[in-house]
Amino acid sequence: MSTELEGLQVILNDALNAIQAELTIARLPALSNCAQIQHPLDDLNYLPSPRLYEARRLAIAAMGQLKNLLQQPFEKVREHSLAIYDSACLEILLKTGVLDYLADPSRINGAVQVSDMRTALNLGSLQLEVILRHLCSMGLVHEPQEGAFALCRPALELREGSSGRAVVMVPGRAKVASALVDLASHSESERITPLTRTAFQHANNTDLSLFSFLSDRTYERQQWSASISAYGTACRAATVVDFPWQELDGRLFIDCGGGQGELALDLLKILPHSEFIVQDLPEVVSLTQAHIERRAPTETLCGRIRTEVHNFFSVQQYHRDDTVFVLRHILHNWSNDSAVTILKNIAAGAGTCSKVLIIEMVISPCSTANWVESDVPVTLNELRDAQAYRPLSPPQFIPSNFGAASHVSTAAGVNMNGYLNARERTLSEWIALVSNAGLTLKEVVPLRANESIIVCQVLGS
């Protein structure tokens, strides 16, 4: 019977050995924090082998559990309460132009003195070294000589055009987080603001929903749409590879709230006998149409892909029995009641062979109950040479949601809550939601990404 410390040490060693072996098999270079070029694994389009993907997840989970085990609790609480400055420093790095200055090809290979940055960027009295030192502890910057800083490899994800930058630049998140605290701190009886009002509305003193608020704010809308594209890019490779799309070739695909049509464009390439309709609100569809014509001129001409204005709060008009309705990153934007209405509008028009594919996170509860070994656990050894992705069973001492490896997903749930009174959902919440809408959940296909594909059919079919 090993102690928690011993158990986690073994798990971490096994995970690191598996990572090392998989890097060698894939002929990937060694990882380095201070490298000035991205590692192939940093590319969002690079899909790691199932064993490498899971070993990374396990190593992060084990490191998180070890940190929880070892860190002095007062230091831990202090660290979390100060975490608000992590995002503030990230924003300062971008908004002062320091990131772009350090990332410039003429400077990227050496460290730059703070005084030079201050003069070049006209930063006056900003105590830049204080900010940069905190960014060092976050692993985004390093300080090879006192007062001289250079970017670390992860910071390359913040360069212009990168998905990471798009996510950081979403406006007003700090305001929403603070309004969430404000709303949550009042008991039900003292509440002046009705519960249906979001923290976003409270923070911006508006009754408009996020989407209506953005409709006449071009800059903010562009920042949002860049971040939405970034989430799509992050799960793109896994969505295409880890789901058996070929079994559905020949069907009509309706991408509900399809945005720029990126998912349909990806599927178009691998499903030569299928047709695609990308639906969205009128102000989005006009941009989507132009985007699709640029990206897939031939398929557009052949009628294999087109756009259509459709509000998903009205009933779908497609009654073809073989229709596949896809909703990616849609339902987590809506409360349960609204999400049920959206799904009912699809179910009302869907034939018995139609499918509804929901591409979203399926949050695991953080249970530690599975510390008792499950019947047929999937281990890193079993994933050796595996081509098809299967998630690992969490070993003893690792929570069922892989703890620290789920941090982004649980934080995304709080973010959805703050902006939209919405949430990321667990499997039991998904089952309840789809059955309330007259659908049945057939299976959940996990992806090498934060998302899974939830396959639903019309009830009884």
Ligand X SMILES: C[S@@+](CC[C@H](N)C(=O)[O-])C[C@H]1O[C@@H](n2cnc3c(N)ncnc32)[C@H](O)[C@@H]1O
Under 8 Å CB-to-CB from 109, ≥6 apart: which residues?
Answer: 36
Query: At its nearest, how many Å lie between ligand X and the CB of residue 38?
Result: 23
Q: Is the CB of residue 270 less than 8 Å from the CB of residue 237?
A: no
Residue number, 99 or 284, with CB nearest to ligand X: 284
Token pair 């090879």 in the structure block, residue = 144
**Which one of the spans 9-17, 145-153, 194-202, 328-336 is the region binding ligand X (CB under 6 A)?**
328-336
Site size toward ligand X, by CB under 6 A: 18
- Identity of residue 66: L
Q: In angstroms, give the least distance from the CB of 337 to ligand X.
A: 14
Strands 148-151 and 141-145: antiparallel
Identify the helix (H) or strand (E) that includes residue 350.
none
Stretch that binds ligand X, among 192-200, 309-317, 411-419, 425-433 (CB under 6 A): 309-317
Residue 388, phi then psi, degrees to nearest 5: -85, 140
CB of 166 within 8 A of CB of 226? yes
Residues paired with residue 308 on neighbouring β-strands, in sequence order? 279
* Nearer to ligand X (CB atom), residue 126 or residue 252: 252
Q: Which of 118, 251, 328, 425 binds ligand X (CB under 6 A)?
A: 328
Minimum distance from residue 289 beta carbon to ligand X (Å): 13
Alpha helices by DSSP H, 208-330: 210-215, 218-241, 262-270, 282-295, 297-301
Sorted by sequence, the CB contacts under 8 Å of residue 153 that are 6+ apart come out as 32, 33, 34, 35, 36, 37, 38, 39, 42
330 lies in the binding site for ligand X (CB under 6 A):
yes
Residue in 312, 325, 397, 402 binding ligand X, rule: CB under 6 A: 312
Residue with tokens 């212009």: 160
Helix (H, G, I), strand (E, B) or coil at 144: strand
Give the pairing of strands 252-256 and 425-426. Answer: unpaired
Nearer to ligand X, 66 or 264 (CB): 264
Applying CB under 6 A, which part among 114-122, 240-248, 306-314, 402-410 lies near ligand X? Answer: 306-314
Our finding on whether 212 is near ligand X (CB under 6 A) is no
Write down the least CB distance from residue 292 to ligand X, Å.
13
Question: How far is the C-alpha of 335 from the C-alpha of 27, rounded, in Å?
Answer: 46
Judged by CB under 6 A, the chain residues 244 through 283 that form the site for ligand X are 257-259, 262-263, 280-281
Please report how close the Cβ of residue 150 comes to ligand X at its closest, in angstroms: 35
- Euclidean distance between CA atoms 71 and 236, whole angstroms: 36
For ligand X, the closer CB: 311 or 367: 311
CA distances for 161 relative to 173, 198, 226, angstroms: 20, 31, 9
What's the DSSP call for residue 136? H
Residue placing its CB nearer to ligand X in the complex, 211 or 371: 211
| Cβ–Cβ under 8 Å, residues 169 and 227 | yes
For the range 1-5, what are the long-range contacts, defined as Cβ-Cβ under 8 Å and sequence gap of 24 or more? Answer: 4/65, 4/69, 4/397, 5/66, 5/69
Q: Which is nearer to ligand X, 243 or 397 (CB)?
A: 243
State which residue, 209 or 440, has the beta carbon closest to ligand X.
209
Residue 311 in contact with ligand X, rule: CB under 6 A: yes
Letters for 156-185 (x = contact with ligand X by CB under 6 A, - = none) are ------------------------------
Residue 397 touches ligand X, criterion: CB under 6 A: no
Q: Please give the residues from 74 up to 133 whose contact with ligand X meets the rule CB under 6 A.
A: none
CA distances (Å), origin 335, targets 199, 203, 209, 227: 14, 19, 12, 21
- Taking the least distance from each CB to ligand X, the nearer of 154 and 172 is 172
Query: SS3 of 454, please?
Result: strand
With respect to ligand X, which residue has the nearer C-beta, 262 or 424? Answer: 262
CA–CA separation, 439 and 369 (whole Å): 30
Q: Which of 165, 329, 423, 448 binds ligand X (CB under 6 A)?
A: 329
Among 284, 343, 380, 392, binds ligand X (CB under 6 A): 284
Q: How far is the CB of 340 from ligand X (least distance, A)?
A: 14
211 binds ligand X (CB under 6 A): yes
The CB-of-408 to ligand X minimum distance in angstroms stands at: 16
Give CA separation, 242 vs 82, 239, 451, in Å: 38, 6, 11
CB of 107 to ligand X, least distance (A): 35
By C-beta, is 57 or 329 nearer to ligand X? 329
Tokens of 274: 């299928």
Q: How far apart are CA 228 and CA 328, in angstroms?
A: 11
Please say which residue, 181 or 315, places its beta carbon nearer to ligand X.
315
Stretch that binds ligand X, among 30-38, 42-50, 289-297, 305-313 (CB under 6 A): 305-313
Q: Which residue, 48 or 232, is less far from ligand X as judged by CB? A: 232
Q: Given the rule CB under 6 A, which residues bind ligand X? A: 211, 228, 232, 257-259, 262-263, 280-281, 284, 311-313, 328-330, 333
